[in-house]
Structure 1
Amino acid sequence: MLILNDKVNTTELTPFGSVANLGAKVLEGAPQASGAALVGQEGDPQILGIFACTQGKFQVDHTFAEHATLVKGRVTLVDNISGERKTFGPGEGWYIEKGENLDWIIESDEMIKHYLAIF
């Protein structure tokens, strides 16, 4: 069993640099990402991990499904097809279908989430 909680040490996360390095389109600011896979690795059918990002706005074409729970910060997700918009705080979660196109607005200085990505 792996216990996930809100005690994330961000110094243990691997810096990825700009979210553009992960395939996102930066819309505002200079959001910087970091993360760590807890179970699985690139190329596996699913990965459980931690993802952190600094303030900014970016667009993502999701090539995977994702279930996530926000650990720290405040983030708004905007569905670019339906226009649906939802703001999340710590302890709240979401599910994103593979193929969705979303704007991510990181409203706090930093956000941290636990996620399960399904490829």
Structure 2
Amino acid sequence: MMKLYRPVNEECGLADWGKPEDIGAVTIEGDVRVAGRFDLGSPQSEVFGGVFVATRGQYRAVYAFHEHATLLSGRLELTDETTGHTISYGPGDSWIIAKGTPVLWTIVTDRISKSYVAATRDI
């Protein structure tokens, strides 16, 4: 399987996932809404991935998986709450987050979208 991610097709087939609390996170500020789709596996798989979308606001998530992601649209800041280190991201920027890392998401544009691959297996 091969999947192309472009702004024109990133929105196709997204499911409404609700609020951050519906995916195991905690809303800190704003009326954040999340949506996404799985293009590879599912969260019950050892490896899964797809597209994730979130609206403006702030939420905290402790990662239940290792993730590599690339921001497709929007701007955000990710803060590793273990170290206090914050990095700002724009379209085309990528990151790797290790399983168990507490991350504060601050979405500074109306919405962001990312493509990602996640692994639940310990490395």
Q: Percent identity?
A: 31
User: Map of 1:74-85 to 2, 5 A cutoff?
Assistant: 74-85=75-86
1:73-103 superposed Cα distances (whole Å, 9 cap, x missing partner): 0010001111100000000000000010010
**Structure 1 residue 12, shift from structure 2 partner:** 2.2
The residue number in structure 2 matching 1:67 is 68
In structure 2, what is the Cα distance between the partners aligned to 1:44 and 1:4?
Answer: 22
TM superposition outliers: structure 1 runs of 4+ over 6 Å = none
SS at match of 1:20: helix
The residue number in structure 2 matching 1:33 is 34
Backbone CA RMSD of aligned residues = 1.1
TM-score calculated relative to the size of structure 2 = 0.92
1:18-66 superposed Cα distances (whole Å, 9 cap, x missing partner): 1111011110001100000001123110111000000010000111010
Q: What amino acid is the match of 1:48?
A: G
Please say if 1:16 is aligned against 2:17.
yes
For structure 2, the 5+ residue unaligned runs are: none
For structure 1, the 5+ residue unaligned runs are: none
